[in-house]
């Protein structure tokens, strides 16, 4: 660990605060306003190659798998290509359908996760072009894949993935833009996405200003025995990631669900001491999220809502409202991740847990 924590008490907090830079680095040299698209030269694929892709499989483990799930929403909505997400540990033993035009991406911060490497090799054995999305330069997955995209997030020391996740999400947006521009997105739509991506580092900085508010909320709820996390669409995987972060470093039982699944079982867990964290930005499904929040409140469950700046409606239904900047649907998951990272961090710190080295976990799992 030759990276210094600087003035931060933990690497995890330092890495959370590095995100304005790490998302910028994930985009550096990859935005092309002339062509109104993203450029990912490391894929080693021409536009004609990319145009012939009929199906995409995204795979990874842990946090990387959640990035894959967000990628599924983004690629399907911006590029209209069917996407399937799979845990690397499952993909390696699945009999992958061998359509010729299926492109496989393996996502791994370390580039050394045993299951992800095995999924890469199995997919190559089946004849699929298999690309890596890695942070560690020269890692095994980076070397063995047929091309890929580096995250350029810099070393991540905290066991709980933070900046690598938002870099993965940023790359998913770049990929969806690139694939979309050679299919359904117009020049003007491409330019608009690029303009929003250019604002992303500033929006991430602005979101980090929520830290003190999130710390106060963490203090209030740190003794809760369990937590629920809910969101819809691309924010559903963000709910899963929020729950994973909390479990990993605070050992509090936490589960993530699509908001509407609440009524199919999860609602049985709602009581006065189980906080529900809802990711409910101002978007097409906002009203739907609000009615789910009301269902929780009707059963006396405390609600922490992540909403959008300028939207006061949540004040009427939630106990706590954390407001992230207004942004398009392909940016919101990145911003919504940040208060969830901070919530897990401050709860774990409040409980005196070893934030950077949680029990039983390894930064990179190199055995099956």
Catalytic residues: 363
Find the shortest distance in angstroms from Cβ 17 to ligand G6P.
18
Pick the stretch among 57-65, 72-80, 122-130, 325-333 that binds ligand G6P (CB under 6 A).
Answer: 57-65
If the CB atoms of residues 256 and 275 are measured against ligand G6P, the closer one turns out to be 256
Measured between alpha carbons, how far is 354 from 274 in angstroms, rounded to an integer?
23
Find the shortest distance in angstroms from Cβ 216 to ligand G6P.
27
Find the shortest distance in angstroms from Cβ 322 to ligand G6P.
23
Look up residue 165 and give its two tokens. 């996740």
- β-sheet with 129-134: strand ranges across: 83-87, 55-60, 102-108, 129-134, 148-150
Alpha helix positions (H), 39-162: 47-51, 63-79, 88-91, 114-125, 140-144
Please report how many Cα atoms fall inside a 13 Å half-sphere around the Cα of residue 133, on the Cβ side. 30
Look up residue 151 and give its two tokens. 């995250």
Measured between alpha carbons, how far is 159 from 162 in angstroms, rounded to an integer?
9
Q: Which helix (H) or strand (E) holds 1?
A: none
Pick the stretch among 110-118, 283-291, 323-331, 345-353 that binds ligand G6P (CB under 6 A).
Answer: 110-118
DSSP-derived 3-state class of residue 102: strand
Find the shortest distance in angstroms from Cβ 54 to ligand G6P.
27
If the CB atoms of residues 165 and 278 are measured against ligand G6P, the closer one turns out to be 165
Binding mask 133-162 for ligand G6P (x = CB under 6 A): --------------------------xxx-
Rg for the chain, CA atoms, rounded: 20
Residue from 64, 78, 203, 280 in contact with ligand G6P (CB under 6 A): 64
Alpha helix positions (H), the chain: 11-17, 19-27, 47-51, 63-79, 88-91, 114-125, 140-144, 163-181, 187-208, 211-221, 235-250, 286-298, 332-350
If the CB atoms of residues 205 and 364 are measured against ligand G6P, the closer one turns out to be 364
Span 14-53, contacts to ligand G6P by CB under 6 A: none
Span 342-361, contacts to ligand G6P by CB under 6 A: 361
Could you say whether residue 116 binds ligand G6P (CB under 6 A)? yes
If the CB atoms of residues 32 and 124 are measured against ligand G6P, the closer one turns out to be 124
Could you say whether residue 109 binds ligand G6P (CB under 6 A)? yes
Find the shortest distance in angstroms from Cβ 107 to ligand G6P.
7
Binding site for ligand G6P (CB under 6 A): 60-64, 108-110, 113, 116, 159-161, 361, 363-365
């Amino acid at each position: 660990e030759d990276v210094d924590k600087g003035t931060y008490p933990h690497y995890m907090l330092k890495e959370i605060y590095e995100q304005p830079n790490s998302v910028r680095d994930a985009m550096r040299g990859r935005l092309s306003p002339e062509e109104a698209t993203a450029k990912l030269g490391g894929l080693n694929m021409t536009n004609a190659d990319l145009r012939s892709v009929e199906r995409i499989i995204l795979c990874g483990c842990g946090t990387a798998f959640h990035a894959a799930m967000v990628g599924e929403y983004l690629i399907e909505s911006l590029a209209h290509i069917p996407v399937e997400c799979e845990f690397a540990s499952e993909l390696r033993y699945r009999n992958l359908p061998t359509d010729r035009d299926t492109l496989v991406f393996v996502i791994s911060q370390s580039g050394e996760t045993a299951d992800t490497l095995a999924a890469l090799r199995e997919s190559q054995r089946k004849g699929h072009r298999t690309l890596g999305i890695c942070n560690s330069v020269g890692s095994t997955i980076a070397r063995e894949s047929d091309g890929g995209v580096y995250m350029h997030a810099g070393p991540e020391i905290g066991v709980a993935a933070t900046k690598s996740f938002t870099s993965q999400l940023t790359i998913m947006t770049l990929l969806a833009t690139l694939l979309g521009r050679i299919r359904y997105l117009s020049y003007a739509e491409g330019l608009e996405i690029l303009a929003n991506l250019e604002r992303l580092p500033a929006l991430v900085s602005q979101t980090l200003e929520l830290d003190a508010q999130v710390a106060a909320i963490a203090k209030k709820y740190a003794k809760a025995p369990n937590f629920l996390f809910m969101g819809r669409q691309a924010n559903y995987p963000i709910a899963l990631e929020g729950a994973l972060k909390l479990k990993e470093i605070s050992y509090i039982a936490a589960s993530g669900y699509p908001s509407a699944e609440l009524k199919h079982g999860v609602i049985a867990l709602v009581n006065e001491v189980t906080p529900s964290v809802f990711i409910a930005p101002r978007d097409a499904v906002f009203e739907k999220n609000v009615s789910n929040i009301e269902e929780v409140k009707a059963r006396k469950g405390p609600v922490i809502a992540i909403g959008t700046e300028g939207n006061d409606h949540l004040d009427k239904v939630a106990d706590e409202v954390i407001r992230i900047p207004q942004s398009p649907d392909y940016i919101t998951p990145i911003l919504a991740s940040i208060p969830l990272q901070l919530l897990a961090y401050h709860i774990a710190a409040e409980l005196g847990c070893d934030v950077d080295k949680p029990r039983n976990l390894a930064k990179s799992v190199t055995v099956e």
